[in-house]
Amino acid sequence: MKTLTDQLAQYASYHRDKRNIATHFVGIPMIVLALAIWLSRPQWPIAAWPLGASPALVLFGCATLYYIVLDRALGLAMAVVSAACLVIGAQLALASTAVWAGSGAALFIVGWVFQFVGHAAFEHRKPAFVDDVIGLVIGPLFVLAEILFGFGWRSSLRDSIERKASALRDAQHERHQPI
């Protein structure tokens, strides 16, 4: 299994332009919240739990376990973010079908517009998940890590990711040069 540094560096190699990263700070949370909303139906009550069981709980639970395996501290931070998304999703799942589906659809569509605009306008490169579907899972972790790095969290990890991402990007660029 790839390490946290490997996963984040691979993802970061597709995200070198700061403007593209900024679009991801908006788009990825919107997409994640949309999934929490859409997958919060159906809900099955669990005694003494504030949330019912749902496909969203399963998806977010599995993703959070993976994040914790990669890195305990970052995984636990993502668990807090996931819990907030699950609470919002569960609340919207109780609303009318129009509100539930419409809010999920609006967030999902606008979120992906941000993603694709960032890649087309600024990065001039396809999204990471096109080459490796795990990028869909790593994207939210990347955004959270970038936010935490901005506050000075684990600068040695950030530096290691940056070095590896630059090397990966250089290697990818060399492979695509005409002979």
Whether residue 4 is predicted with pLDDT greater than 90 in this model: the reply is: yes
- Residue 116 token pair: 């694709």
Closest to 158 (Cα-Cα) out of 15, 5, 16, 21? 5
Q: What is the pLDDT of residue 178?
A: 54
- Which pLDDT does position 174 carry in this prediction? 65
Is the confidence at residue 125, as pLDDT, over 80? no
**Residue-averaged pLDDT of the chain:** 90
The reported pTM is 0.89
CA distance 103 to 33: 10
% residues pLDDT > 90 (the chain):
68
Structure tokens at 52: 């019912």
Domain residue limits, the chain: 4-174
Confidence of residue 175 (pLDDT cuts 50, 70, 90): low
Question: From the CA atom positions of the chain, what is the Rg in Å?
Answer: 17
- Rounded CA-CA distance 155/118 in Å is 25
What is the mean pLDDT of the segment spanning 22-39? 96
The pLDDT of residue 131 is above 60:
yes
Please write the tens of the pLDDT for every residue from 58-94. Answer: 999 999 999 999 999 999 999 999 999 999 999 999 9
